Amino acid sequence: MPKKRNLWELSQKLNNNKISKKRNLWELLRLITNRLLYEEKIGEI
């Protein structure tokens, strides 16, 4: 029984890691797009 629970906990942890990695990717994309927009605005001035 403990073994099954450990497997379940492990899978939960892995899922959490996947979610956080996705979130980090989105954050990175957002930062890059913000940066590009910002640089474009500066270029216009």
What are the tokens at 44? Answer: 């216009």
User: In Å, what is the CA distance from 37 to each residue of 12, 25, 31, 32?
Assistant: 37, 18, 10, 9
In angstroms, rounded to a whole number, what is the distance separating the alpha carbons of residues 29 and 18? 17
pTM (predicted TM-score): 0.55
> How does pLDDT run across 14-29, given as a tens digit for each residue?
999 998 999 999 999 9
- Specify the pLDDT at position 36: 92
Using pLDDT thresholds of 50, 70 and 90, give the confidence band for residue 4. Answer: confident
In angstroms, rounded to a whole number, what is the distance separating the alpha carbons of residues 7 and 11? 6
